[in-house]
Amino acid sequence: MEIAGLFRVAFRISKAVVGAMGADGFRFVQNNGEAANQAVPHVHVHVIPVMMEDRGRYGGRKSFSAEEREAIAKSIREKLRETA
């Protein structure tokens, strides 16, 4: 897939993630190479929802229970269907 196509899909997903999480914005992160903790060379994009209170801060992963993760995933799928 060309990079433009990859980011068109990533942007569509980012809108669904922002809507599902009630976020104020998002970050794209794309890591490459062993130094970036990539064990198998491939391309993928992390879509990270951010809130205004996170502005200017990076890192700090949040933990969710299995039930919370499933509810979030369901909400993201619903948002993606709404924009199909």
The tens digit of pLDDT for each residue in 15-66 reads 999 999 999 999 998 888 999 988 898 888 999 999 998 787 776 778 999 9
Residues 25 and 57: beta-carbon distance below 8 Å: no
Residues 31 and 37: beta-carbon distance below 8 Å: yes
50 membership: H or E segment, kind and range: strand 46-50
For 1-14, write each residue's pLDDT tens digit. Answer: 588 999 999 999 99
pLDDT at 1: 55
Mean pLDDT on 71-83:
95
The whole-angstrom separation of Cα 70 and Cα 1 is 29
- Domains belonging to the chain, first-starting first, are 3-82 (3.30.428.10)
